[in-house]
A and B are shown apart, each in its own frame.
Chain A
Amino acid sequence: MMTIQELNEIKERTLKTMELRLQKKDTGKHVLICGGPGCHSSNAGEIKEVFEEKIREKGLDDVKVTLAGCFGLCETGPNVEIYPEGIFYSRIKVEDIDKIVDSHLCKGEIVEELLYEGSIEDGNIKPVSEVDFYKKQVKIALRNCGIIDYENIDEYIALDGYQALAKVVLEMTPQEVIELMKEANLRGRGGAGFPAGRKWETAFKYPADQKYVICNADEGDPGAFMDRSILEGDPHSVLEAMAICGYAIGADQGFIYIRAEYPVAVHRLEVAIRQAREKGLLGKNIFGTDFNFDIELRLGAGAFVCGEGTALMESIEGKRGMPRPKIHRTAHRGLWGKPTIINNVETFANVPAIILKGADWFKSIGTEDSPGTKVFALGGKIKNTGLVEIPMGITLREIIFDIGGGIPNGKEFKAVQTGGPSGGCIPKEHLDTPVDFASLGKLGSIMGSGGMIVLDEDDCMVDIARFFLDFTVDESCGKCVPCREGTKRMLEILERIVNGEGTPEDLDRLESLAETITEGSLCGLGQTAANPVISTMKYFRDEYEAHVYEKRCPAGSCQALLEFFITEDCIGCTKCARNCPVSCIEGKVKERHVIDTGKCIKCGTCMEVCPVGAVIKR
């Protein structure tokens, strides 16, 4: 069993070993390597080993190496930071390590050519905290990600870990915890934004012999990986918050439902749960009180619909993950018919900070309606792909252009897709919209879990709608007719349109289907399935009309509607004609060639083989 004194001892002791990283000491060096989803996949583990090996060879006893959670800037990974200076190296390959060890670690000379390009301004080298990508960010949910060693519970404890749990079980009543959470108005970060405190209160007030806490880690929205990063970079924050929730509502058992696509997160959670149990921070008589709480992992198996609360519970119960009709609130009758609280990973990660710093602090960040921060995963056509945590209320423009660095390759911004398959596309005239739950909803999109995919001029909005419908059709569980049949019909219409076979009536049909599916579906998946279509039809109707009336794709993306054309740049090398599989290109040597568009199958081979780039799509 752990006492508060022991917890504080671990904290003091471990803090001393972390002083370099926290920039409280300046003798010695500390190498932090990003072990986030992107960097982990590009060999961060090997980079760490090589660093350690070289450091041993050089006999540098005062240099420490740590593999930490996600730094956020996935675009430039694998990333390495060196403290106490906070120097940010990016795109590090194993071959680069020698140089860093020789110059930076041995002689204190920074290796400029390996620095992250954004950290040099007017010839001066900026520390990582001053880089544009990080400057506007405020970290609550990601507070420990990229700082602590995710597999070392002591480092979590050093940065006030499990202090919130101690405070709650030793000093507060469940009612006080719930009041504090209600006061802070933490809204669910999984999509819908329901206030966590109110949810907890409902479960608290409902008497039952058994209650459950579930962490929804079934992060299925394509393009969203914030939950994965939190689970992998700071797993204990979620465990601690679940225990706090358990105390508040009177539950002694928690489940983390995590998708099987995240094996790394599963492994790190298993390690974290084992450590917490060993320290007595999970299990019986936590901090010597009569409060018991334990957590079990449950794996999904690749069904998007299981992110829906009731489907998730069906899946934990060992059944097909089909949503239940909402006759009862899950806070009254959830898992195995018992009162159950489901919150998502990011929501939970905020809880310990709120308990320790108070509701007023939390409300001082963000907007009145949506206090706090939100983590977004920036992806698609954007320079700085990665993970950002921003205070609610800053504009889309600030996120995409100031933090995200704008669109690469000189292309024009077209839209940003938020909220995954349940969300919508927001065009450039609304870039100055502040990001909060209500504003995004008004634009026909949703905050969702925080995926933000940036689209540029080359992306066809009809095709994007088709892409999401394809996803929904595949993932619809098939229980209710509007979703099962309706989304299928919508997809067929969209496929007709992108293939140039759409009719004007198809547009009306799409609109009417969208309305029916939204109104008539059983669960959130169906009710929001039409959003990608509704929002693209609202803001980009001209693109739909161009496909239908002119059989033309303005973005030049829909293969069936394109024409290949040989420009005057042609040098007459005959390469295209020789490679064309249907022999539809004619022309004499050293003369401009011509494509017979009637015979062309639009395979694109001519474009690929042309040595001078004379073949274009139009």
Chain B
Amino acid sequence: MEFVFDWEANEENIRELKIFIKENKGKKGALMAVLHKAQDLFGYLPIEVQRMISEELRIPLSEIYGVATFYSQFSLIPKGKYKIGICLGTACYVKGAQEILEKLKEVLGIDVGQTTPDKKFSIDATRCLGACGLAPVMMINDDVYGRLTVDDIEEIINKYK
């Protein structure tokens, strides 16, 4: 699915990012911080924004694209309004996280790494969230759901619909 970047709607964000870049330009290794900021502002890293960062930081676009695609937290497509992260760490896996994930995919009709067409939900399989005592665990934005069973999923998703 193509997502078109809306310059007008993001005018304010662009300005904020430019200020952030200016403030951090002199810092060694500023690129990671800038990309984090951009991801926070836009929810993903549109190629248009990467191009702008390239010009502002005087770093080749190829290098920026390389960094943006290397790290799994950076995304090239918009994430849903509700970002679902299901933990596939070992403790969650042995307690049935895979089945939870399958159910989630079934309920939302999308695969891992995808976003629903209405941009409401996206699913990511995350690395260990460090809440192994609650395994299996998933997060929807900042809310943590622990000790999940397959039967809980539909009800939880319905809360956000």
Contact = CB atoms under 8 A, between A and B. Distances in A.
A328 interface: no
B95 A380 contact: yes
Interface in A301-323: 301-304, 315-321
Contacts, number: 132
Contacts of A219: 130
A42 B128 contact: no
Given A223-B90, A302-B72, A380-B91, A261 B127 contact: yes
A319 B59 CA distance: 11
A151 interface: no
A318 B131 contact: no
A41 B134 contact: yes
B127 A220 contact: yes
B67 interface: yes
A221 interface: yes
A381 interface: yes
A321 to B, nearest CB: 7
Interface stretch (B2-10, B15-23, B24-32, B114-122): B24-32
Nearest to A378: B132
Contact of A42 (B32, B93, B146): B146
Among A223, A298, A318, A464, find the residue whose CB has the most chain B CB atoms closer than 10 A.
A318
B94 A318 contact: no
Contact of A336 (B28, B31, B70): B28
Contact of A225 (B31, B32, B73, B131): B131
A417 to B, nearest CB: 7
Given A379-B90, A381-B94, A459-B94, A225 B132 contact: yes
B144 interface: yes
A318 B134 contact: no
A77 B63 CA distance: 45
B130 A301 contact: no
A522 B135 CA distance: 34
Contact of B71 (A222, A321, A385): A321
B61 to A, nearest CB: 14
Interface in B32-88: 32-33, 35-36, 63, 66-67, 70-74, 88
Given A318-B29, A318-B67, A319-B67, A222 B36 contact: no
Interface string B124-143: 00111111111101000010
Contact of B134 (A38, A228, A304): A38
Given A379-B135, A386-B133, A303 B94 contact: no
A315 B88 CA distance: 24
A41 B131 contact: yes
Interface string A358-385: 0000000000000000000101110001
Interface in A209-228: 219-225, 228
Among A75, A225, A299, A300, find the residue whose CB has the most chain B CB atoms closer than 10 A.
A225
B72 A303 contact: yes
A298 B32 contact: yes
B133 A261 contact: no
A21 to B, nearest CB: 23
Interface in A244-283: 260-263
Nearest to B95: A380
A301 B89 contact: no
Contacts of B131: 37-38, 41, 74, 225
B128 A301 contact: no
A221 B28 CA distance: 28
A74 B94 CA distance: 17
A300 B29 contact: no
Contact of B73 (A37, A302, A319, A464): A302
Contacts of B29: 298, 316-318
Contacts of B135: 379-380, 385
Nearest to B124: A302
Contact of B132 (A318, A320, A377, A455): A377
A316 B73 CA distance: 16
Given A220-B127, A379-B135, A301 B74 contact: yes
Sort A-B residue pairs by CB-CB distance and give the 7 closest, nearest first: A74-B133, A222-B89, A379-B91, A301-B71, A225-B130, A318-B31, A41-B144
26 contacts: A37-B130, A38-B132, A41-B134, A41-B137, A42-B144, A74-B132, A74-B133, A74-B134, A220-B127, A220-B128, A221-B128, A223-B90, A223-B91, A225-B130, A261-B130, A262-B130, A298-B33, A301-B74, A302-B73, A318-B28, A318-B32, A336-B28, A379-B132, A417-B90, A459-B94, A468-B90
Interface of A: 37-38, 41-42, 74-75, 77, 219-225, 228, 260-263, 298-304, 315-321, 336, 377, 379-381, 385-386, 417, 420, 451, 453, 455, 459, 464, 467-468, 477
Given A37-B130, A381-B95, 8 more contacts: A41-B131, A42-B144, A75-B133, A223-B128, A299-B33, A301-B71, A320-B67, A385-B133
